[in-house]
Amino acid sequence: MAKRKLVAGNWKMNPPTLGKAEALARAVVEATRGDAAVDVLVIPPAPFLGAVGAALHGSAVALGAQNLHPDRGGAYTGEVAGSMLHDLGVRYVLCGHSERRQLFGESPALVGAKVAAAHRDRLVPILCVGETLDERDQGVTDTVVLGQLEQGLAGLDTAVIAETVIAYEPVWAIGTGRNATPEQAQAVHRVIRDWLRRQVGDLADELRVLYGGSVKPANAAELMAEPDIDGALVGGASLEAAGFGAIVRAAG
Q: Does 214 bind ligand 13P (CB under 6 A)?
A: yes
Is position 169 an interface residue for ligand 13P (rule: CB under 6 A)?
yes
Applying CB under 6 A, which part among 23-31, 67-75, 103-111, 207-215 lies near ligand 13P? 207-215
Where in 91-120 is the site for ligand 13P (CB under 6 A)?
97
* Three-state secondary-structure class, residue 245: helix
The residue annotated as part of the active site, out of 22, 97, 106, 135, is 97
10 in contact with ligand 13P (CB under 6 A): yes
By the rule CB under 6 A, 44 interacts with ligand 13P: no
The residue count for binding ligand 13P (CB under 6 A) is 14
Q: By C-beta, is 25 or 220 nearer to ligand 13P?
A: 220
Q: Which is nearer to ligand 13P, 70 or 236 (CB)?
A: 236
Q: Binding of ligand 13P at residue 67 (CB under 6 A)? A: no
Q: Is 97 annotated in the active site?
A: yes
Nearest to ligand 13P of 22, 169 (CB atom): 169
By CB under 6 A, name the one of 175, 206, 218, 225 that touches ligand 13P. 175
Q: Which of 112, 213, 217, 231 is the binder for ligand 13P (CB under 6 A)? A: 213
Residue 239 and residue 196 in contact, taking contact as beta carbons nearer than 8 Å = no
234 is a site residue for ligand 13P (CB under 6 A): yes
200-228 burial, b at 16+ Cβ within 10 Å, e below that, comes to: beeebeebbbbbbbbbbbebbeebbebeb
Closest to ligand 13P by CB, 70 vs 213, is 213
Q: Which is nearer to ligand 13P, 66 or 151 (CB)?
A: 66
Q: Is 174 in the site for ligand 13P (CB under 6 A)?
A: yes
30 assigned to active site: no
Binding site for ligand 13P (CB under 6 A): 10, 97, 169, 174-175, 212-215, 233-237
Q: Which residues are catalytic?
A: 97, 169
